[in-house]
Homo-oligomer: A and B are copies of this chain.
Amino acid sequence: MDDVEESTQQTRRRGRRAGGEDTKAALLAAARETFIERGYEGATVRSIASRAGVDAAMVNHWFGGKEGLFAKAVLQVPVDPNTLVERLLDGPREQVGERIVRNFLAIWDATGGGHFAALMRSVTSHERVASVLREFFVQHLLHRVLTGIGADQPELRATLAATQIFGMGMVRYVVRFEPLAGTDVETMVKAVAPNLQRYLTGKID
């Protein structure tokens, strides 16, 4: 799939750029390749832009910076992680579990779980994708939420929360076990949020 994408991008790079969509697509393809090759920290906006043959300023213009570019190129979600972290922290500390369930379901349900399933396919078959996801999801997303709410043991709590978030996605969008796969958001919140909340702020040892 990557080869096909790459060849499409090459063609596009030689073709017209006027509308911006071609440039955007070239940038996303270059970003995906660079993040997977060098990891999240190792990839620079400058190197990605140069690889795509576009001005680095366009990355900020279109994606709000490196994090937003990563989210769109690798996680395939149209949400800037900074905005997501802000949303997760916006409200009472004892409802952060609920906000996580609502926000992740809103993002993934929007494409019928297709983007989550594609990400998991990529993660299970490419160690480099697993590696960059590891770096980003825990350190740049969950860890910031944990420190934002002042939790102890942020590393362990972040990874425990990840088990529930990934597990919810696997069962709802990949193996699709019923009734969970087809149930409404409120039922999910009542069932899952208290467990997430315990991982984030409760007693875990």
Q: Flag if A179 contacts B155 (CB, 8 Å).
A: yes
Give the residue name and chain of the B residue nearest to A153 (CB).
Answer: B179
Residues on B with beta carbons closer than 8 Å to the beta carbon of A179: 155-156, 159
A180 with B160, Cβ < 8 A, contacts A175-B123, A195-B198, A204-B190 known: yes
Chain-B contact segment, one of A2-10, A18-26, A62-70, A161-169:
A161-169
Does A104 make an interface contact (CB < 8 A)? no
Number of copies: 2
A134 with B176, Cβ < 8 A, contacts A163-B168, A166-B171, A167-B163 known: yes
Does A121 make an interface contact (CB < 8 A)? yes
A174 with B138, Cβ < 8 A, contacts A179-B159, A191-B160 known: no
Instruction: State the A residues within 8 Å of B (CB).
Output: 117, 120-121, 123-125, 130, 133-134, 137-138, 155-156, 158-160, 162-168, 170-172, 174-181, 183, 187, 190-192, 194-195, 198-199, 204-205
Give the residue name and chain of the B residue nearest to A124 (CB).
Answer: B121
Distance, CA A111 to CA B139, complexed state (A): 28
Give the residue name and chain of the B residue nearest to A204 (CB).
Answer: B191
Q: Flag if B190 contacts A162 (CB, 8 Å).
A: no
Distance, CA A188 to CA B139, complexed state (A): 21
Distance, CA A120 to CA B166, complexed state (A): 12
Give the residue name and chain of the B residue nearest to A190 (CB).
Answer: B205
